[in-house]
Structure 1
Amino acid sequence: MKNIYKLLGLFILVSSTYSCGKDDLNLAPLSQIGDNAFYQNDEEIEGAVIAIYDGLQEVPMREFALTEMRSDNAKSKSREGDWAQFESFSVKSTNVAIVNYWRANYNVIFRANVVLKNIEVVQDGAKKNQYAAEARFVRALSHFNLVRAYGDVPLLDKVVTPTDSDYAAYLAKTPAADVLTFIQTDLEFAAANLPSKASASFGRATMAAAQGLLAKVYLTQGNYAAAQPLLTQLVANNQYALQAAYSDVFYSEKNNEILFAIPYTNDDVNESQDFSFEMTQGGQVSGLNFVTDDLAGAIDPADVERKPVLINPLDPKANAKFLTTSGNARLCGNDWIVLRLADVLLLHAEAIMAGQSETASVAAIKSYNLVRARVGLSTLPENGTAKLTKQMLMDERRIELAFENHRLYDLIRFGEAQNVLSNYATNTAVSFSPTDLLLPIPQAEINVSGGALLQNPGY
């Protein structure tokens, strides 16, 4: 069919073939099927489920520019071209990276909606619930990416075509609060119907992944009471554990610290990525997502385990978290970690702190201490005499999760973005305003919406 999802730049790509082994998720090249394809059995629906994950591989490609490079963590090597717009808080609505990110996420949502549209052909009840849960998990993840990046965005809960009577309504923005509520509903279903880690192939959604993402959505909504029991359950889940060495989280993949990751394969033209090259070696002439002086100065000199992973010892301007072992520098196989246990532990402390400036909770301090003890740093007493402050928690999240695309959204969630980024902008001789916390809606999408999609304030 022609013109379907013209606004959202989507292609009708769903897979009729798949390969999914016990120990891995093989995202094989897709065959192209039009929207008029008829899904007839369990196998074809699972093929469409695998196609969702294949589409998800596009999302992290330049996500770092929209997140880390709009914080005090990262910059381009020489402030050149469109990439400099992110570090100077001057992103234009024509910036290619924001267009591609918008389209990549809506492509994933479309693929998920194709599965849900055809889910009733699945005869096995357990499989039907699992496939629906996987589709709803990834649909929620992509909507969450979009609402945090752009604010109010179109919410797509079904496959929409230009011939549908409500087509125009779907082109308009939905308030961010309503999008978050929709995401919450998807994740609640996913958490109730996804398998455990032991029963799932790496790279496919699990119950714990849905619980962790749902908890983060609750925290984004300020619903600490709903987030805390989920995070407490995850902290106690013995299927997950911190890696003994911080570097092993990234250099020894498919480890037990990871709740959800997007897998890639070295030197495979279809299954590789190049963000590792951009971050660690310096592509695009200048190099992207490199270390700011501000981040380098925030690393404790005693933090000898994390520093060489965050800062390349051979190039102190480059980060080292995604150093590649690929033969082709631009065909990298480093997986992208979406959610891991260290993140969960610090979210657990955040939920207990519940928006306050500090907490004396032993449970919160224990979670915080586990992250610090892993890298040999000092910890707080766990006897009720110590207090964990919001600043300590923010600082720990900044270093532990640097270059994993959390910093900007952490600052927003903690209510500190305007203060921190205004100071950072002043120190780096750029201009920052509160409207810079949201990206502009891509102008190309506004142009084809017939006036239904409106630009964000400040652009």
Structure 2
Amino acid sequence: MKKDILYSTKTIVMLLLMVAVFSCQSLEEVPEGISTPQNFYATTAQCEAAYAGSMNALFFTWGGYQGIPSFPDGQFEGTTLDFGSTSFNELWTWHYKAIANINAVLKAVKSGSLAGNSQEAIDGVVAQGRFLRAFNYFTLVRLYGKIPYITEDTPDVVLTPLTAASRLEISTVYDLLQADLTFAMDHLGDFDAATPGKPNKWVAKGYLAKVYLTRATAPLSQTDYYAKARDMADDVITKGPYKLLPAFSDVFKTANNRSTEIMFAFHTTSETPYMPGNSWAPSEMDGWSGGPVKIYWASNIYPEQPRKHNYLLLDFTSDIYDPAAPLINWSKSADGVPYIGKYNMPNLTYDQQVGGGDAGIEMKLLRFADILLIYAEAANMAAGAPTQLAVDRLNMIIDRANAGTGKEPKATLAMSKLDFDQKVIDERSYELCFENDRYFDVLRKRILQKVNLPDNAQGYDENDYLLPIPALDARAIGQNPGFE
């Protein structure tokens, strides 16, 4: 032990002598190998890598939005309105984790980490962060109502804990996320097919249209936002680079993951592969029975048309490993329920369906079809009656769904405002099913009990329009009504 101490002492003396010899030289250097927010987020590429990491907080191997949350939206079989204090708590955690990652970048950039870059490049990085932050808060405010809006300027929540006063009014949250989206719209670049996962100004405009439409409906019901939603959606439709694919059967094929209809999505990589295709399939397809479709909705509500047989899995092989096996209807299957067709054959190849590896399914977050439907709803409500352009754009969706069969009646100019509005909401239910969109329509249109009838509306009350805040955070900031 004494030898070790003596050796260390001699070493320190030698180091001090070396320092004395070179004392005239500057020693103010950043230590190599030590990463801090200030020296890590020193390039735009490093900032964008961190933003990708924020998306990984929402979409990670075998978790997050890889499995669509089974909200009680009237489309998932086996859901319930008997919410408990832990129902969907993971969503709160995912989104605030993503926001923390985003704010770390924005704070570093504000502190000068990108000094030396052009102001345009810096604004572009900030715009990406503010878009992603708004994207996360838009989900949170719709699910939880009054929430804390943590930014890069918020004091450290460990040193300065949040309180009940940290929860902002819903309208204030919308004001803040709109400001983030507006900055993003003004400073993001144009569409670039080479970087499909990177937000651009048109994606920001698309989400602004969606935010405006949501503000116009419950719980805020600020109806002047209908016109704003209409005009923003129209800008994307008439000037943006996106378009509706001619055939609905092409939208969800894995070969078309980067089509011109997809505006924003979770793009998988080899580091974060998607779950195997059979995770969504019935037993006869060697599936794991994930994503069963509500029987009543599939049988009694969804119109009988060609689109239905692509978006829903209703008839399928009785043995996926036997090419000669006959097709059976879901009612004759072992599981006795339909399944989500969007994430099964023929949208997947046979190898993707049964291979047991990454199926390559791109989970959509915003499609051009949604923008057409936003326009139709907002234009009708702003004008007090359907306009010709609203009818035409809604019928673009219906015509594609019918594929020349005329099975579903088209919208007409003779419809009343309320009838046309119902037609749009129904069409959103059919076209955007199982894309993590329907539940938000259910919330803003206040139809939660209705869509869960006749069989799983037990336990419903008005408090079900908000989810419970996780207990640990609720102790600091308060709980939503009905879960105290």
TM-score of the two chains, using structure 1 as the length reference: 0.78
Shift of residue 92 of structure 1? Answer: 1.9
Contact 1:52 1:135 in 2 (8 A): no
Instruction: Name the structure 2 match of 1:106.
Output: 96
Letter matched to residue 349 of structure 1: A
Which residue of the other structure, out of 61, 85, 92, is the alignment partner of 2:84? 92
Shift of residue 153 of structure 1? Answer: 1.8
Structure 1 distance, partners of 2:81, 2:289, is: 18
* Equivalence map 1:237-248=2 (5 Å): 237=239, 239-248=241-250
* Secondary structure at 2:192 match in 1: helix
- From the superposition, tell whether residues 219 and 200 of structure 1 become closer, same or farther in structure 2 (CA, over 3 Å): farther
Identity of aligned residues (%): 25
Letter matched to residue 133 of structure 1: A
TM-score of the two chains, using structure 2 as the length reference: 0.75
Structure 2 distance, partners of 1:335, 1:368, is: 25
Which residue of the other structure, out of 203, 207, 228, is the alignment partner of 2:230? 228
Instruction: Name the structure 1 match of 2:294.
Output: 292
Instruction: Name the structure 1 match of 2:5.
Output: none
Which residue of the other structure, out of 200, 209, 234, is the alignment partner of 1:206? 200
Bigger CA radius of gyration: 2
* Equivalence map 1:98-247=2 (5 Å): 98-119=88-109, 120-122=112-114, 123-158=117-152, 162=156, 166-169=160-163, 172-198=166-192, 201-222=195-216, 223-237=225-239, 239-247=241-249
Contact 1:160 1:167 in 2 (8 A): no
Letter matched to residue 339 of structure 2: A
* Secondary structure at 2:339 match in 1: coil
Letter matched to residue 454 of structure 1: G
Instruction: Name the structure 2 match of 1:359.
Output: 385
* Secondary structure at 2:178 match in 1: helix
* Secondary structure at 1:354 match in 2: helix
Letter matched to residue 236 of structure 2: L
Structure 2 distance, partners of 1:289, 1:444, is: 30
Structure 1 distance, partners of 2:372, 2:72, is: 25
Instruction: Name the structure 2 match of 1:256.
Output: 260
Letter matched to residue 398 of structure 1: S
Instruction: Name the structure 1 match of 2:274.
Output: 273
Contact 1:191 1:210 in 2 (8 A): yes
Structure 2 distance, partners of 1:152, 1:236, is: 35
Letter matched to residue 363 of structure 2: W
- From the superposition, tell whether residues 277 and 50 of structure 1 become closer, same or farther in structure 2 (CA, over 3 Å): same
CA RMSD of aligned residues (A): 3.0
Shift of residue 71 of structure 1? Answer: 1.1
Contact 1:215 1:230 in 2 (8 A): yes
Q: Deviations over 1:26-68 (max 9, x none)?
A: xxxxx99665754333343333333334334244234422xxx
Structure 2 distance, partners of 1:103, 1:32, is: 28
- From the superposition, tell whether residues 198 and 45 of structure 1 become closer, same or farther in structure 2 (CA, over 3 Å): closer
- From the superposition, tell whether residues 47 and 416 of structure 1 become closer, same or farther in structure 2 (CA, over 3 Å): closer
- From the superposition, tell whether residues 238 and 373 of structure 1 become closer, same or farther in structure 2 (CA, over 3 Å): farther
- From the superposition, tell whether residues 258 and 167 of structure 1 become closer, same or farther in structure 2 (CA, over 3 Å): same
Structure 2 distance, partners of 1:42, 1:288, is: 39
Shift of residue 154 of structure 1? Answer: 1.9
Instruction: Name the structure 1 match of 2:444.
Output: 413
Q: Deviations over 1:162-192 (max 9, x none)?
A: 5776443599422222111111111011111
Instruction: Name the structure 1 match of 2:401.
Output: 375
Shift of residue 240 of structure 1? Answer: 1.1
Shift of residue 280 of structure 1? Answer: 3.4
Contact 1:194 1:207 in 2 (8 A): yes
* Secondary structure at 2:91 match in 1: helix
Instruction: Name the structure 1 match of 2:3.
Output: none
Instruction: Name the structure 2 match of 1:319.
Output: 340
* Secondary structure at 1:70 match in 2: coil
Structure 2 distance, partners of 1:327, 1:160, is: 48
Contact 2:376 2:393 in 1 (8 A): yes
Structure 1 distance, partners of 2:309, 2:390, is: 25
Contact 1:246 1:306 in 2 (8 A): no
- From the superposition, tell whether residues 208 and 431 of structure 1 become closer, same or farther in structure 2 (CA, over 3 Å): same
Shift of residue 278 of structure 1? Answer: 4.3
- From the superposition, tell whether residues 318 and 158 of structure 1 become closer, same or farther in structure 2 (CA, over 3 Å): same
Shift of residue 259 of structure 1? Answer: 1.1
Count of residues paired in the alignment: 400
Letter matched to residue 120 of structure 2: A
Contact 1:130 1:194 in 2 (8 A): yes
Instruction: Name the structure 2 match of 1:40.
Output: 42
Contact 1:61 1:275 in 2 (8 A): no
Structure 1: any 5+ residue segments left out of the alignment?
Answer: 1-30, 77-86
Q: Deviations over 1:325-356 (max 9, x none)?
A: 26653644211111111111010011112278
- Report whether the alignment pairs 1:453 with 2:477: yes
- From the superposition, tell whether residues 295 and 426 of structure 1 become closer, same or farther in structure 2 (CA, over 3 Å): closer
* Secondary structure at 1:197 match in 2: coil
